[in-house]
Structure formats: structure tokens, C-alpha cells
Structure 1
Amino acid sequence: MKNRGLKRLLLALCLLASPALAVQPDEILADPAQEARARTLSRELRCLVCQNENIDDSDAQLARDLRLLLRERIVAGDTDAQAMAFITARYGEFVLLNPPATGANLVLWLAGPAALLAGGALAFAVMRRRSRSSEAESLSAEEKARLETLLKD
């Protein structure tokens, strides 16, 4: 009986341990449609302090400022693209969690696949070289003759 109660307690604690959003109640917009847009867009913006966290999940003051700025732009009537362009113009492309693959960013987008291809080509070349230099070529004449007699038996 104790085991069952313990399992229930652990399950309840796991359900309560879901990640909490850093959006404060005073930041939430009155219009649910605008708030949904703000939440969607804020998941695409990087916290400049935390760097690998979106502004919706960050407790940093700068992330709060970005959330408020984004909501101001949405309330002002900006489209999603206009609001993102405004923030990108002010903070640079670094603020985007998924920057566009253009210009200098193209090098970053292509560096990973290029390194993977180069590593694969290097591994292929090494394996090919190893297969060409077989063990039989490195044996002396006596060893080759003994190997042939062993293989015949």
C-alpha cells in the first residue's frame, strides 16, 4: 500500500515539475489573439543574456524588455514580420534563434554539412588505403609459402 502511495506522489511531483514560462502576469496582453502571436514570436527570439534560450523561457531583465517591446509592436498594429524586422534591426540577427541562411550566415549554415562531408571523405580515403595495403603484400617469401601450405590443409 505504501508503494502505491509513493508512486502517486512521485507522479504528482513529476507533473508539477513542468517548465515554467518566465512571462509575468503584467506582461500578458488582454487580447488572447495578440498574446498568442506574441508567444509564438517570442519563441523565435533568443535571450541575449542566456543565448540558447528563447525570451519566453528566460528570467533575464533583457528578455523581459524584449518581450515587452514585442508586445508593444503587436499592440501598435505591426504584422509578425514587421515586429520581427523591428527587433532584428535594433538588436541584430543574433537575436533570432533561427537566422536566415543568407549573406554571412550562409557560411555558418554550410559549415556543418561541409565538415561532415570532409570527415566522410577522409574516412573513406583512409579505409580505402587500408584495404589496398593487404597483409599478404607485407609478408616475406617464406611467410607467403607457409601461408599457402596452411590454407591448402
Structure 2
Amino acid sequence: MLSLSAPIAGPAAGQMTSSAPLANTQLADPQQEASAQALMEELRCLTCQSQSIADSNAPMAGDMRHQVRSRIAAGESPEQVRAWLVERYGDYVTYRPGLDSATWPLFALPVLFLLVAGVILFRRLGRRGE
């Protein structure tokens, strides 16, 4: 069951041009809207790339907000919606990519760099002590 309430009042609400009905309209259920809003803050606008879909004025972001709200209103969990969007648009759509074969370097390389820096510092400081 899809029910709508008041339009969203945000900094750019008057500038948004998406034709998707739920792009700029909150869900009637406050708990569902809170879930949708939290998820929209974690999804990257594919047009703007530096903004979440919650903050973007791009029509693509409006379409994505509509998809998020309509899927949550239909009973899907935020994780199911996120998985659908990642499957459709790739890992780049989320600010929190999961650990898989394509994203493991994002998690492993910082640790590797810290280990290498630690070894270099240990060797240099060890030579000074001799």
C-alpha cells in the first residue's frame, strides 16, 4: 500500500525537476520515511557524484529517491533496496561499499600502507639506537 503525505521541505525542494511522484514527497509512515531518508543519505547521485541522492537536485537523483521510497513502501528493507541499486548501478552508487572481490583493495591497501610505514619507521629508529 503506497500512501503519500506532504512534500519535502528542503533547501532545494523548489528546484527539483524529477517527474517521479515520490521523489519529493514523504511517505505517510514516519518509520518508513526515516528508513528511506537514512538510505538516501548513503546513496551517491550518479549525475552529481559529490552529493547524496537526498541532497541532489538532478532528475536522476529524484528518480532514485522515488525508487527508494516506493520499494520501502512496498515492504522491502533498506538493505534489499541498497542491494538492488548496487546490482543495477554498481558499487559506486553507495558511500559504503561491501567487501567483495572488486572492493577488497579499498579495505586492504590502507592497512598494507600502515604496515609498510611501520616497518620503515622501525628500521630507521632501530639504526639510530645502535
Shorter-chain TM band: 0.7 to 0.9
Q: Give 1:37-56 correspondences, 5 Å limit.
A: 37-56=35-54
Unaligned residue ranges in structure 2 (runs of 5+): 1-9, 17-22
Kept after mapping to 2: 8 A contact 1:55/1:66: yes
Q: Distance in 2 between matches of 1:107 and 1:36?
A: 32
Q: Give 1:4-23 correspondences, 5 Å limit.
A: 22=12
Q: Distance in 1 between matches of 2:123 and 2:72?
A: 55
Other-structure match for 2:109? 111
Quote the sequence identity (%).
39
Unaligned residue ranges in structure 1 (runs of 5+): 1-19, 133-153
Q: Distance in 2 between matches of 1:21 and 1:111?
A: 38
Other-structure match for 2:27? 29
Equivalent position amino acid for 1:105 in 2: T
Kept after mapping to 1: 8 A contact 2:24/2:62: no
TM-score relative to the length of structure 2: 0.72
Kept after mapping to 2: 8 A contact 1:21/1:58: no
Q: Distance in 2 between matches of 1:80 and 1:34?
A: 9
Instruction: Tell me the alpha carbon deviations over residues 131-152 of structure 1, each in whole angstroms, 9 at most, x when there is no partner.
Output: 33xxxxxxxxxxxxxxxxxxxx
More strand per residue: 1 or 2? 2
1:33 aligned counterpart, secondary structure: helix
Equivalent pairs counted in the alignment come to 113
Q: CA deviation at 1:98?
A: 0.8
Q: CA deviation at 1:52?
A: 4.1
More helix per residue: 1 or 2? 1
Q: Which has the higher contact order (CA 8 A, sep 6+)?
A: 2
